[in-house]
Amino acid sequence: HKYGQGWSQLGIRLNESLHGIRVVKAFAQEQREVAAFEKTNDRLGEICVRTARNWRLLWSTMSLFSGIGIVVIWYCGGHEVLGDRMSLGELMALYAYMHLVYGPMEWFAEVNSWMTRAFAGAERIFEIIDTTPEAYEDPQAVPVPRMEGRVVFDGVTFGYDKSKPVVHNIELEVEPGEMIGLVGKSGVGKTTTVNLVCRFYDVDHGGISIDGTDIRRIKLSDLRRQIGVVPQDPVLFSGTIADNIAYGDPDAKIEAIMDA
């Protein structure tokens, strides 16, 4: 368990450092990140050394008993052969049988090491599989193939931490074709407001409706397919520029892509 957690924490630390490299450099925090990585790496190193030591101890114990068994068989069997109480063929057969016993035992010790590594990765995979989605799709959600675009926020409150709302009791109406701007300092909830419309998160209180239908009652695929979002950190996928523009509608014609 600790072995898997150690690798997971090291991966998270490395991913965060590389993903936020501009922020790290902007605030001259390279040494801080290096120190944090080394601390996590040292902790993992201790776990790996402890695991390797335990495995070597098990392997050495198995090898010791195997060696003792060989010595006992040759010593006792040799006396039996010299005393004409056992044939040389019987001694060799006994020696072969011993390997049939010790071979699987040594293999089991090796498998134990493999299983430790395998379970470490599997544990992380199942954690992801068992993660509860932030936004559920109602089994009775209705398809909406085309939306006009009238968006209404009715007393919307939401917070990533339930005790600290990011947006509180928002009342907002946006008509189709209307252009509005959300302004304010960082952290006041501008991006969060857009994320709520896309149902990346569900509101804690109140509701959001489009064309009079609560977005929680609209099929997620229909809702998100008809919302155009330009993220703060754009991502380009492999392919042509046209492929990226038409990412939300792979069947779009070139004329529609050019208009976009």
Walk along the chain (260 residues) and give the pLDDT tens digit of each residue.
Answer: 676 677 777 888 888 878 777 777 766 778 878 888 888 888 888 888 887 787 778 777 877 877 888 888 888 888 888 888 888 888 888 888 877 777 777 677 666 666 766 676 677 677 777 766 656 777 788 898 889 989 999 999 999 888 889 999 999 999 998 999 988 888 888 989 999 998 988 999 999 999 999 999 999 888 888 888 877 777 777 778 888 888 777 788 888 888 87
Sign of the torsion angle spanned by Cα atoms 137, 141, 145, 149: negative
105: helix, coil or strand?
A: helix
Structure tokens at 108: 């089991």
Compute the distance between CA of residue 124 and CA of residue 11 in angstroms, rounded to an integer: 11
118 CB neighbour count, 10 Å cutoff: 12
In tens, the pLDDT along 54-111 reads 777 877 787 787 788 888 888 888 888 888 888 888 888 888 887 777 777 767 766 6
Largest CA distance in the chain: 106
Compute the distance between CA of residue 225 and CA of residue 230 in angstroms, rounded to an integer: 13
All structural domains of the chain, each given as residue ranges with its CATH number in brackets, are 2-129 (1.20.1560.10), 135-229 (3.40.50.300), 233-260 (no CATH)
What pTM did the predictor assign? 0.52
The confidence score (pLDDT) of residue 134 equals: 59
Residue 158 contacts residue 167 (beta carbons within 8 Å):
yes
Structure tokens at 158: 């939401």
Who contacts 257 (Cβ-Cβ below 8 Å, separation ≥6)? 242, 245, 246
Query: Terminal CA-to-CA distance of the chain, rounded, Å?
Result: 51
